[in-house]
Amino acid sequence: MLLTSNIISNAQELKPNTTIKTSSASFVVHQPQPGGLVVYNNKNSYDKKIPKVAPTTITIVGRRDKGGMLNSFKKVFSNDRLKQLLPENILPMQLYVDSSGGVLEIVFFLNNNTLVKAQELDDLEKAIKANVSLILNPNETKGGDFFAISVVVKYSRVLDGTLK
């Protein structure tokens, strides 16, 4: 008999060591340490690839659409839902972007007891990919194919509209 810790679940709650199906994707949920979850689309591959240019500090010079991140969150989360998420404070993410700043993939970092649902992450990933494009320092990205950019979004800044 073979036992596996990879459970495929149709429930929307994010639980450690599961794969959660949404309407259009499956999200893998890992628990690398107690208290935290790493969640990503099972089609993601950039976290396993080696970039052409060694990782260095990449400077975000700006955003092509300054309200893109805010609009992405507002598209997915109502104000009432954002109020429910306020106790979680932040949503850290790792954006994998191409050399022109377009978002290719996202890895989400959440608390074990998060209220965020898999379908919300699926919708948020789609919205960010469609609405967020970073302007990167060309001297730092020359010859590179993709880059990992850490982003932390405070739910309170989405709620009050001050997220940049």
Strand partners, 30: 38
d(CA 144, CA 142): 6
The type of residue at 136 is L
- Give the start-to-end residue ranges of the domains of the chain: 7-159
d(CA 119, CA 24): 9
Question: Within 13 Å and on the Cβ side, how many CA atoms surround 35?
Answer: 1
For residues 39-72, one letter each, b for 16 or more C-beta atoms within 10 angstroms of the residue's C-beta and e for the rest, the string is: bbbeebebeeeeeeeeeeebeeeebeeeebbbbb
- Sign of the alpha-carbon dihedral angle for 107, 113, 118, 119: negative
Whether the full predicted model's pTM is greater than 0.85, yes or no, is yes
One pLDDT digit (tens) per residue for the chain, 164 residues: 333 344 444 447 898 999 999 999 999 999 998 889 999 999 999 988 888 877 667 778 878 888 999 999 999 999 999 999 999 999 999 999 998 999 999 999 999 999 999 999 999 999 999 999 999 988 888 888 899 999 999 999 999 999 98
